[in-house]
Structure 1
């Protein structure tokens, strides 16, 4: 995660040099002047627990280099990471350019209700909607990076070995606790059994244990609350007729562990196919036609990421362009890359972070007009 934070900071800093010179001069013969992006003022930055270093760094640095000051509230589940980040930024910045706050929901609500000029939030859809409602009275500028339910469409000509290996990180990375985790797999019925066989084999190779040990492939979840949510999604699917080919029940061991679970026989009546699971679960559903696959992938309130897996890149690109998602991948997930704009469609958020203009959400264009 520290390496990811470094890459994002360097990218944002490289764009700042250009942004500082971005002045557009205009004239219609009678009136002339210029316009340029300028800072908003004070940015409230509220981030989630799953990447407590790299995500805050990308948001905070974008806000600061756009010219704003920042009030930063990390998740109450990772307060020490947030406090340490505050210390590190404090060693580099003038006084009060970044003020860290710790606390739970009530602290976040108070921050949003204060006299800040914009709110950048990374977290759940429910919290994002609450922030949007609370910001309506003051018309705060908002940047919301919310949840996802990313689909993966596996075509009949896909490299199934590659798909199965990549799903170990695309779906199970960070124990599935990523907003852009693959949470729905749609596979051409002609290769369904072969993909399932490969997925099960890959999952069985994973070693659960202490995340501080090199030999560990997958660790515990963040909390009992999150594990119980995952468990409820899996149990709901099993009650409705799905089958667990791996995992499916919590282990008898210390810690918030939940085994990587491959589900088959799923459909869109099940919570695991409609709500954000945020855990180590790979539900697999077969399709018969390309149109059906696209319909199923788009049949969600979320639209953060999506992916298409095929050896025919032109066909895969054609399918990807019909998927309603902010970040779409081919033969790999729609993942965070500093050079690409990051953000979702539908209920997955507002605005874009990183990419060629990482300051857009943290500034507004203002003009000076000279008459005569």
Structure 2
């Protein structure tokens, strides 16, 4: 895949970039290693000052970088501005909270005495240069939620971003440099995916994090396993959105539309499978389908647009294949389902009903504005359908019954359970999944500690 900005609204190639050669990659790896030796010793206050400055600059650049993101991958420009603001918020959150999240831990005095020590502690120390392999769908947020905690922990980062968002990738490197971080603290590597394996094998890279597809995650995990390096993987998701009879059905249907089509439906944590109790199924299906039909599809740079184009022609073709397979296998198309005429990689908001386990869309992630509806006879069947997926990123549950909430929290196989609301990431809460959605956590204290050397310090009596 070429490293290029291709506007998905019209297919026009706007900018192309040459991949870095081996000499430049070597220079950057040497620089990362050398920078880490000194940056790791800086004080939290100094790191926080730099990160807060980066947040201020990002706020100033918000409108400009939003247009860049929209032009590169097609998200509605209002959502792009919100993404930039969210990144600045996360930077400030980590600048404020990192010292407490990474503070020395003191074991219980009785345990210290029992170990034969006069005193002991647990200290969090940085690991070193971390390789981040990031996707195009949230081209700022996916990177910042790694970079902010990594930099505050004293690590340095090397970014291999998706090849269709090179301008955003270069902007991030420039942003941290303008904020005052030395050049080696955060570097963008303009390389193709084929170069990742060799870089990950380099001894100077101490760990890696990847957000992306399951095949990409498997490849990085395999190499990291051979090299005995720590990895965090956030892969696909096919999140359930369960609606029970006690729920506010109209409100659930309204939120369901946003939960499905956020970022043009290209979000791992977007609700994709809507599992509705039989008692309220017809009402929910009607309201939800009406909401999907009413969405404004168009130029993502226009303020009123709610759904823009998919990020790539291949992505649209993959989505079409899933819908066509479901239709051929007996699914009912309640709205959408047909590629529109004209330029750009648009696909209409689509609702499919009558899904069965043999359809590909039941097992695979639909990365675009396509929703699947399931009818559940009771809570047991709702849990069964929700867990009948190779993925387990997050989940959404709508009910006013406390006992039902307890049951869903206990039994849903997911990294998050959001009750009477839609899944959304926040710097204070851990984010990640189970099963084929990956392992490890981003954000919160759990995320900042993923790339730390957890060191026991023991002093004899």
TM interval, short-chain normalised: over 0.9
Name whichever of 21-30 and 312-321 sits farther off: 21-30
Partner of 2:65: none
Out of 173, 176, 182, the residue aligned to residue 89 of structure 1 is 176
Partner of 2:194: 106
Q: 1:37 to 1:222 in 2, by over 3 A?
A: same
Does 1:36 pair with 2:123?
A: yes
Task: Please give the TM-score of this superposition, normalised by the length of structure 1.
Answer: 0.96
Tell me if structure 1 keeps the 8 A contact 2:386–2:412: yes
Partner of 2:456: 367
Q: 2: distance between equivalents of 1:54 and 1:103?
A: 20
Offset, 1:20: 4.8
Partner of 1:183: 272
Q: 1:303 to 1:20 in 2, by over 3 A?
A: closer
Q: 2: distance between equivalents of 1:204 and 1:294?
A: 28
Partner of 2:165: 78
Structure 1: stretches of 5+ with no match in the other structure: none
Offset, 1:196: 1.2
Task: Please give the TM-score of this superposition, normalised by the length of structure 2.
Answer: 0.78
Offset, 1:143: 0.9
- Summarize deviations over 1:15-35 as a string: whole Å, max 9, x none: 212145324366327434332
Runs of 4+ in 1 over 3 A off after TM superposition: none
Tell me if structure 2 keeps the 8 A contact 1:184–1:282: yes
- Indicate the structure with greater helix content: 2
SS at match of 1:13: helix
Offset, 1:111: 2.4
Does 1:15 pair with 2:100?
A: no
Out of 32, 56, 62, the residue aligned to residue 143 of structure 2 is 56
Tell me if structure 1 keeps the 8 A contact 2:129–2:155: yes
Name whichever of 85-94 and 232-241 sits farther off: 85-94
Does 1:199 pair with 2:288?
A: yes
Structure 2: stretches of 5+ with no match in the other structure: 1-82
Offset, 1:314: 4.2
Tell me if structure 1 keeps the 8 A contact 2:201–2:224: yes
Offset, 1:203: 1.3
Q: 2: distance between equivalents of 1:190 and 1:35?
A: 54
Partner of 1:271: 360
Name whichever of 8-17 and 216-225 sits farther off: 8-17
Does 1:230 pair with 2:312?
A: no
Does 1:129 pair with 2:218?
A: yes
Partner of 2:350: 261
Q: 2: distance between equivalents of 1:240 and 1:95?
A: 55
Name whichever of 19-28 and 8-17 sits farther off: 19-28
Q: 1:314 to 1:7 in 2, by over 3 A?
A: farther
- Indicate the structure with greater strand content: 1
* Alignment length (residue pairs): 372
Offset, 1:103: 2.2
